[in-house]
């Protein structure tokens, strides 16, 4: 099975991000090409409106553009979790986090923004309010569908949802002034190619920002990843901060700023949000309780106060520019 091959000639996709004053994309322009895997809205003109349902039907009918085994686990897990991302009280909609990120990512009118592994698009939709167009690219159709439902209900016409593998983005070079990805790198088997793809689709002078929970190098980080995988089998590994910085510069990006933020969660709702198997849930709780009582560290900084067991993530934001 091919490993995340880009299945189409990038030039074929160029019209996907045509500006509103350009003619709408017409499949018949390139009759010799195979369009089964290309998800093009009927119009991307925010003022003209996008027919989300028609676009989504195309995605549903197109099915497997991705022949990537490693992605199957993610699709399975996030199909189960999709509804919770748009549910009231979702951490992914937390304005404290979204505004923290917005403080680092400048978005100007006319910008085209890409949210990579964007899920339901909570981050892209938030940042994209001042952009011309927000494209949410994710591998899990159920996540895209949840986001599209919200956008339809809100009556927004500036967000499109595209099923795509972050390791092989179906966009031509230099299409987006702003490229972001949040809380997703730890689900990816190889972060380097993802960052190179983010750099490739970013316009010269544009920005690439990644945000993810990070962990320590060594045994503490390994223990944290082990517990995370027990909670959610699609977890691969939390990025290690210094390695992530190296990968960003290795992808040809220039690091402009960085920030960290600690985020505490009540342990039980945090566990339940990933719907782990009961025996996995119990094993994690046991490890957390032990750490909170002074036992072996889990990397999740478990603590107990007033009878409530908590864990604390460290989120790292790296904001870079494409020279
Ligand atoms: C924890 S969710 C975060 C969603 C979103 N970035 C947010 O912060 O709201 C991780 C997302 O990564 C997506 N994902 C995992 N592997 C992927 C891949 N190879 N390509 C694209 N998306 C992927 C999952 O489908 C899921 O929507």
Q: Determine the distance separating the centroid of ligand 1 and the alpha carbon of 94, expressed in angstroms.
A: 17
Where do the domains of the chain lie, and which CATH numbers do they carry? 14-263+315-322 (3.40.50.150)
Q: Determine the distance separating the centroid of ligand 1 and the alpha carbon of 32, expressed in angstroms.
A: 33
Residue whose C-alpha is closest to residue 191's, from 117, 274, 113: 117
Q: State which of 20-24, 217-221, 313-317 shows the largest mean pLDDT.
A: 313-317
H or E segment and range at residue 294 = none
The answer, yes or no, to whether any atom of ligand 1 lies below 6 A from the CB of 78, is yes
Does the structure show a pLDDT above 50 at 165?
yes
150 CA to centre of own chain:
17
Among 10-19, 68-77, 137-146, 154-163, the minimum mean pLDDT is found in 10-19
**How sure is the predictor about 34, in pLDDT bands with cuts at 50, 70 and 90?**
very low
Among 85-94, 166-175, 196-205, 280-289, the minimum mean pLDDT is found in 166-175
pLDDT of residue 152: 80
The answer, yes or no, to whether any atom of ligand 1 lies below 6 A from the CB of 50, is no
Give the residue, 318 or 218, on which the prediction is more confident.
318
Does the structure show a pLDDT above 60 at 214?
yes
> In sequence order, what DSSP letters do the residues of 49-68 get, joined into one string?
---HHHHHHHHHHH------
pLDDT of residue 286: 97
The answer, yes or no, to whether any atom of ligand 1 lies below 6 A from the CB of 237, is no
Does the structure show a pLDDT above 80 at 53?
no
The answer, yes or no, to whether any atom of ligand 1 lies below 6 A from the CB of 84, is no
Does the structure show a pLDDT above 60 at 33?
no
Pocket-testing residue among 59, 65, 70, 74, ligand 1, by greatest number of atoms within 8 A of Cβ: 74
pLDDT of residue 161: 82
pLDDT of residue 250: 98
Secondary structure of residue 145 in the 3-state scheme: helix
Q: Determine the distance separating the centroid of ligand 1 and the alpha carbon of 140, expressed in angstroms.
A: 7
Q: What pTM was computed for the model?
A: 0.84
Residue whose C-alpha is closest to residue 7's, from 161, 165, 162: 165
pLDDT of residue 70: 57
pLDDT of residue 173: 80
Residue whose C-alpha is closest to residue 99's, from 117, 122, 83: 122
List the residue whose alpha carbon is closest to atom 4 of ligand 1: 119
The answer, yes or no, to whether any atom of ligand 1 lies below 6 A from the CB of 161, is no
Does the structure show a pLDDT above 80 at 5?
no
Q: Determine the distance separating the centroid of ligand 1 and the alpha carbon of 31, expressed in angstroms.
A: 33
Does the structure show a pLDDT above 60 at 188?
yes
Q: For residue 157, what are the CA distances in angstroms to 3, 128, 129, 137?
A: 34, 11, 11, 16
Does the structure show a pLDDT above 60 at 64?
no
Q: Determine the distance separating the centroid of ligand 1 and the alpha carbon of 88, expressed in angstroms.
A: 20
**How sure is the predictor about 56, in pLDDT bands with cuts at 50, 70 and 90?**
very low
Does the structure show a pLDDT above 50 at 242?
yes
- Mean residue pLDDT across the chain: 81
Pocket-testing residue among 71, 75, 119, ligand 1, by greatest number of atoms within 8 A of Cβ: 119
Distance between CA atoms of 151 and 244, rounded to whole angstroms? 32
Distance between CA atoms of 143 and 114, rounded to whole angstroms? 16
Which residues does 87 contact at the CB level (< 8 Å), separation at least 6? none
Give the residue, 275 or 249, on which the prediction is more confident.
249
Largest CA distance in the chain: 67
> In sequence order, what DSSP letters do the residues of 255-269 get, joined into one string?
EEEEEEEEEEEEHHH
Q: State which of 17-26, 97-106, 153-162 shows the largest mean pLDDT.
A: 97-106
Mean pLDDT of 253-269: 97
Give the residue, 53 or 265, on which the prediction is more confident.
265
pLDDT of residue 17: 39
Q: What b/e sequence results for 305-319 when a residue is b if at least 16 CB atoms lie within 10 Å of its CB, and e otherwise?
A: eeeebbbebbbbbbb
Q: Determine the distance separating the centroid of ligand 1 and the alpha carbon of 181, expressed in angstroms.
A: 9
Helices (H), the chain: 10-13, 52-62, 69-85, 95-102, 122-127, 141-154, 191-201, 219-231, 241-250, 267-273, 278-292
pLDDT of residue 164: 82
Q: Determine the distance separating the centroid of ligand 1 and the alpha carbon of 127, expressed in angstroms.
A: 17
Q: Which atom of ligand 1 is nearest to the CA of 4?
A: 19
Q: Determine the distance separating the centroid of ligand 1 and the alpha carbon of 201, expressed in angstroms.
A: 18
């Amino acid at each position: 099975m091919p490993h995340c091959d880009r299945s189409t000639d990038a030039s074929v996709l160029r019209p996907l991000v045509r500006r509103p004053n350009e003619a709408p994309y017409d499949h018949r322009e390139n009759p010799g090409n195979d369009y089964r895997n290309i998800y093009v809205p009927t119009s991307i003109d925010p003022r003209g409106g996008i027919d989300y349902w028609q676009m989504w039907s195309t995605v549903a009918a197109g099915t497997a553009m991705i022949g990537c085994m490693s992605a199957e686990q993610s699709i399975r897990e996030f199909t189960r979790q999709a509804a919770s991302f748009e549910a009231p009280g979702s951490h992914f909609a937390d304005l404290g986090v979204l505004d923290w990120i917005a403080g680092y990512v400048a978005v100007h009118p006319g910008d085209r923004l890409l949210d990579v592994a964007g899920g339901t698009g909570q981050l892209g939709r938030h940042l994209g309010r001042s952009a011309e167009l927000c494209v949410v690219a994710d591998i899990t159709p159920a996540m895209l569908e949840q986001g599209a439902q919200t956008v339809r209900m809100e009556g927004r016409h500036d967000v499109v949802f595209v099923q795509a593998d972050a390791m092989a983005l179906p966009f031509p070079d230099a299409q987006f002034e702003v490229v972001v990805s949040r809380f997703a790198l730890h689900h990816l088997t190889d972060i380097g190619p993802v960052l190179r793809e983010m750099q490739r689709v970013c316009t010269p002078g544009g920005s690439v920002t990644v945000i993810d929970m990070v962990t320590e190098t060594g045994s503490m980080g390994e223990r944290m990843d082990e517990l995370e995988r027990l909670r959610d089998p699609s977890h691969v590994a939390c990025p290690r901060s210094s390695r992530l910085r190296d990968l960003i510069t290795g992808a040809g990006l220039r690091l402009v700023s960085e920030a960290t933020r600690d985020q505490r969660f009540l342990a039980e709702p945090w566990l339940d949000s990933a719907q782990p198997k009961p025996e996995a849930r119990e094993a994690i709780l046991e490890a957390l309780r032990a750490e909170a009582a002074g036992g072996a560290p889990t990397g999740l900084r478990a603590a107990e106060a007033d009878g409530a067991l908590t864990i604390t993530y460290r989120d790292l934001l790296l904001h870079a520019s494409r020279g």
